[in-house]
Amino acid sequence: MAGRSIVWIEEDQKQVDQEYAWIGSELKRLVQEGKDPSEAEAQGVAKRFLNLIQAFTQGDPEIENGLKKWWENFELITSEDKPRLVS
């Protein structure tokens, strides 16, 4: 992780958690309203999500692969054993 010298504090995590929660609620709303994923509103939500991922991985392929592997493993967990990630 050379080059990753950013100090991460609790307030930073709270902001990221709030952004993920907003994205989740917006996605639910867009689906409930039957919005087209190609419309600007949905694309804006997708862009915010991708920006969060980019900020986390900083384009580092090792981190990107680790994140991908984490999600692959998470998907293998049965729904009753899955931790709730976003409220």
For tokens 């984490």, the residue is 70
How far apart, in whole angstroms, are the C-alpha atoms of residue 73 and residue 87? 21
pLDDT tens-digit readout, 7-46: 888 998 899 999 999 999 999 999 999 999 999 999 999 9
Provide CB contacts within 8 A for 27, sequence distance 6+: 45
pTM across the whole model = 0.74
Provide CB contacts within 8 A for 56, sequence distance 6+: 63, 67
Provide CB contacts within 8 A for 53, sequence distance 6+: 67
Q: What share of the chain is helix, strand, coil (3-state, %, to 5)?
A: 65, 0, 35
